[in-house]
Structure 1
Amino acid sequence: MSDLLSADGASMAQPLKPLAVVLTGAENPYRVLQWLRRSPAAHLLRRLVLEPEALNHDSLDTLPQRAATAYVRGLLVTAGILPPRDENLALLTNWAARTVAELPARHAHLIRPFAEWHIIRDARRRSSRGRYTYAAHKGDCGNVLAAIGFLNWLDSQHLSLGQLRQRHLDLWAIDRPTLRSRSIPFLRWSTARRLFPPGLSIDRPASQLPGHFQAEDEARNELLRCLNDSALPLDVRVAAALVRLYALPLTRIVELTEDHISRDDEHTYLTVSQHPFVLPPKLARLIDDQLRHSMPRHSTATEHRYLLPGQSPGRSRNPLGLADTLRHHGLPARAARNTAMMDALVDLPPMVIADLLGIHPKTAERWATLAGENWSEYLSSLT
């Protein structure tokens, strides 16, 4: 360990001693030695130790953002050498800076203030409330890319923002339906700054109601697989069961920690949005097993443990990767969650569902309308 964490191979700098505790505290010595010899993260850490001035977030942000970089950052945060930060927000800010730097000047002078003062500013506000998820970061990146795409399209039409007319916006919306919603934030921002003539707009497309559901037997059989099939990976069983029982999105499931689990003399509870749910005994045991067997390779005793930890210390599992894993095991999330949402609306009013699951009340109302008008017809068509 001294070879790794000391510049001279003998004496370890005092600030790095907590890191030595993290590296050796969670595993047997043999596995630690294997990690030190073979892991790209260990080699990167060694390089950084030789340059103490590089042990900060800014220096790490300049490196290629590979798995090894994320892992080393997680180690340094876990050890208390670097302060914790919202990594989803950092992903957005660093991505935006790199993206704007590659734009031609005529586009950068518009995209930079839009990204920094509109997109990132709003992301910081959500982050301060603990609500900035990985999915939100991906959506914000998509809004910036749509703005860039719109400016590129204007160039192809030999137009400037000042020459824009409603017929041009209508043509953009028709030709690029997938970017229609994503371009609205930039257009509204531009309108507020009078960058093009007043009165122009793109209507947000009508919200699409969900179209993927499961028949009752299919939903029940998949839930039974989650609870009883020991051949499935434990994390797959837990995540898929939470989707099917409580209609939780994967973005919320990956944020669950052991602090969301509580117990009394009779039951085990899962708390979501400050509301405790009683867990079925089988699922409670699966969650206990998952927490017991999901100890990260490097961690501290005081660290809040994620129910589904990611590859990097202190980070949760990526929801996109989790969705792929569930599909691989024949337990896709979308149709199962839609079905669970419909089942919940049979017993609970939309406002309660909105509060419990953290969705917008209007979204819950649309789901309730779908449940009332189409759900029984849909189920009968599957039988």
Structure 2
Amino acid sequence: MKWPDGAICGICFTTALRTRGPCPGCGEVRLLPGRTTDGADNCRDCAGITTTMTCDSCGTETERFRAGHCIRCVLKTDLDQLLHPHSPPDLRLKRLIGVLTEAERPESIYTWMRGAKTKELLEGLGTRTIALNHAAFDTLPSSRSVEYLRELLIHHGMLEDRDRQLAAFERWLVTRILDLEGNPHIQAPIERFARWHHLKRLRATASPEKTLNTAVRSAKQETTESGKFLAWLDTHHELTIAGIKQAHVNEYLAAGPSTRYAIRTFIVWLIKNKEIPRLEIPHRYAATKPLITQHQRLELIRHCIEPNKTPLTFRVAALILLLFGQPVGKIAALKCSDLQPLPDGLHLNLGNTPVLIPAQIAPMFWEHLHHRPNQQTSNRGNQWLFPSTIPGQHIHADTMMSQLRTLGINPSGARNTALRGLVQELPPTLIANALGYSYQVIHKHATDAGTTMASYAGKIPLPTRTPSKPSPPAHE
């Protein structure tokens, strides 16, 4: 293929048809596939290009993706054929087509919908064999494709919202109980414990403002480890819960890994429900707290500030960890609204009092806010500061943890060292209020750091201030 300025390859052709702006020749805002003698991009007419660059369907000046039609028109045609939104009429399916065709990067949507599993799901919606409700989706074989489509529908208001972590635990619990079906002496108490203790508690605490990720992990571990304990009791002593004695608990804890201490909640629950006599089961405390040196912490901060190959998203997350000692799960679940511009600078809401982000790094936070990743397909309007690839969700804590480790950061060590450094400079009570920690946790860090104010900081009155009404944070 040749244009007035010479031959052009496929990659350059595609790039040219995705460059848009004011033409230096005619001043109109349009595609700029040509090139002036001084190297500026210009429009098709000014460049003398004769190649057709207009969609036969909608008349938009753009790349002709298939048979003379642009990618958005091709998407609409294909989705209409899959979803049949008019027979019978379904406003939600019409909206789904609109959401997908209006994505900033429609080529990604086209690739996604051509996948075998996704195409099968869309066809199921189109034939109405898959209803647009959670009950129908719950009956489908669990897969990433199913959950991605479910979350897309939730995010854009085509399915009612629900707590994702709570729903995942409910599905996990059904499978876990079925796995124990062969032994009713184990299955029955584990099901009662999981449903009447953990599930009841999770349902009571679920809210849009709170993530249940950590609580669900703990519930799964305690349920699993309690089942293992009852299986051990049956195998080694031919006993059920009715026969549990202090010696059995001591033997079990002494003979295995530290994860066995997760049975403590189950034992306490059995005692509370008068199913076994009172027993003693100790808490397990870590022998030491992981730490890094303050010099290592400062070097990591310097590395995050300096431009490098690590995505800005994870450098910003690392700075929140290194400066403010926040748990990775809490960082992952921060919202855009937690970045708050006030008269004296940009602040971050972590506790009761917004904390000031140092002026030297505030531009990094603004840059990240304005160019958050994973926004170019069906995830626009995401409220999270660190959005996931899954529509409407924030990045998973494990994913963020992995990325922080690639930066050479030990998350636990960095968090403990950051908190230890902070309590050596400020009263622990102020630190607790600003960073969202309990007084007990921060005072323990102060005691470990050997600060003299640790014993009386709780008596220091907190300064009061009424911040000015902030301007709303910028969103894309």
Q: Contact 1:219/1:336 (CA < 8 Å) preserved in 2?
A: yes
Give the drift of 1:251: 0.5
Q: Which residue of 1 aligns with 2:295?
A: 217
After TM superposition, the structure 1 = structure 2 runs for residues 155-174 of structure 1, keeping only pairs within 5 Å, are 155-156=234-235, 157-174=237-254
Write the distance in 2 (CA, Å) between the matches of 1:45 and 1:128. 30
Alignment of 1:269-280 (within 5 A): 269-280=347-358
- Quote the residue 1:115 is aligned against: 194
CA distance in 1, matches of 2:288, 2:208: 29
Deviations 1:134-178 (Å, cap 9, x if unpaired)?
A: 122111100101110111011112112222211111111211342
C-alpha deviation, 1:245, in angstroms? 0.7
Change (3 A) 1:261 1:8: closer
Distance 1:8 1:78, change over 3 A: closer
Does the CA contact (< 8 Å) of 2:105 and 2:377 recur in 1?
no
1:354 to 2:402 alignment: no
Range that drifts further, 37-46 or 178-187: 37-46
Aligned counterpart, 1:367: 445
| Residue pair 1:255, 1:316 contacting (<8 A) in 2 also | yes
- String of CA shifts for 1:266-296, please: whole Å, max 9, x gaps: 4111111342111123432222222222252
User: What amino acid is aligned across from residue 267 of structure 2 in structure 1?
Assistant: L
TM-score, normalised relative to structure 1 = 0.88
- C-alpha contact 1:245 1:340 (8 A) present in aligned 2: yes
Match of 1:4 in 2: 79
TM-score, normalised with respect to structure 2: 0.72
C-alpha distance in 2 between matches for 1:125 and 1:269: 31
Are the counterparts in 1 of residues 291 and 417 from structure 2 also a CA contact under 8 Å? yes
The aligned amino acid for 2:113 is L
1:16-45 deviation per Cα after TM superposition (whole angstroms, max 9, x unaligned): 122223213331443432333348545533
Report the CA distance between 1:226 and its aligned residue.
Answer: 0.7
Match of 2:307 among 219, 229, 245: 229
One-letter amino acid of the counterpart of residue 342, structure 1: R
Alignment of 1:197-216 (within 5 A): 198-210=277-289, 212-216=290-294
- Note if contact 1:74-1:314 (Cα within 8 Å) is conserved in structure 2: yes
Structure 1 Cα separation of the partners of residues 120 and 199 of structure 2: 33
Structure 1's 281 and 67: CA in aligned 2 closer, same or farther, altered over 3 A? Answer: farther
The corresponding residue for 1:94 is: 171
Q: Indicate the residue corresponding to 2:410 in structure 1.
A: 332
Tell me the alpha carbon deviations over residues 285-309 of structure 1, each in whole angstroms, 9 at most, x when there is no partner: 22222222225244476x4421111
Say which of 137, 143, 146 aligns to 2:225: 146
- Of 120-129 and 91-100, deviating more is 120-129
Measured against aligned partners, the alpha-carbon deviations of 1:231-261 in whole angstroms (never above 9, x if no partner) come to 2211111111110011111111111111111
Task: From the superposition, tell whether residues 49 and 292 of structure 1 become closer, same or farther in structure 2 (CA, over 3 Å).
Answer: farther
Matches within 5 A, 1:1-383: 1-4=76-79, 9=84, 11=86, 13-38=90-115, 40-41=117-118, 43-51=120-128, 53-103=130-180, 104-128=183-207, 130-156=209-235, 157-196=237-276, 198-210=277-289, 212-293=290-371, 294-299=373-378, 303-372=381-450
Structure 1 vs Structure 2 CA RMSD: 2.5
Distance 1:100 1:310 in 2: 31
Instruction: Please report how far the alpha carbon of residue 359 of structure 1 lies from its aligned counterpart in structure 2 after TM superposition.
Output: 3.1
Give distance in 1, aligned partners of 2:116 and 2:440.
Answer: 48
Task: Specify the structure having the higher radius of gyration (Cα).
Answer: 2
- SS of 1:112 mapped into structure 2: helix
CA distance in 1, matches of 2:210, 2:280: 29
- Residue-pair matches, total: 371
Q: Whole-Å Cα distance in 1 between the matches of residues 167 and 319 of structure 2? A: 31
Whole-angstrom CA distance in 1 between matches of 2:105 and 2:165: 32
Greater relative contact order (Cα 8 A, min sep 6): structure 1 or 2? 1
* Structure 1: gaps spanning 5 or more residues: 374-383
Deviation at 1:336, TM superposition (A): 1.3
Equivalent in the alignment of 2:46: none
The amino acid that maps onto 1:181 is Y
Q: Retained in 2: the 8 A contact 1:187–1:201?
A: no
After TM superposition, the structure 1 stretch with the greater mean CA deviation from structure 2, 138-147 or 95-104, is 95-104
Q: Distance in 1 between matches of 2:245 and 2:200?
A: 29
C-alpha displacement of 1:58: 2.2
* AA matched with 1:4: L
User: What SS does structure 2 have at the residue aligned with 1:170?
Assistant: helix
Give 3-state SS (helix, strand or coil) of 2:292's partner: coil
Shift of residue 370 of structure 1? 0.8
- Contact (CA 8 Å) 2:83, 2:125: kept in 1 or not? no
Task: Supply the distance in 2 between the matched residues of 1:315 and 1:41 (Cα, whole angstroms).
Answer: 19
Shift of 1:361: 2.8
CA distance in 1, matches of 2:441, 2:312: 32
Q: Is the 8 A contact 1:2 1:9 kept in 2?
A: no
What is the CA–CA distance in structure 1 between the aligned matches of 2:141 and 2:255, rounded to whole Å? Answer: 36
- Name the aligned partner's letter for residue 184 of structure 2: A
Q: Percent identity?
A: 27
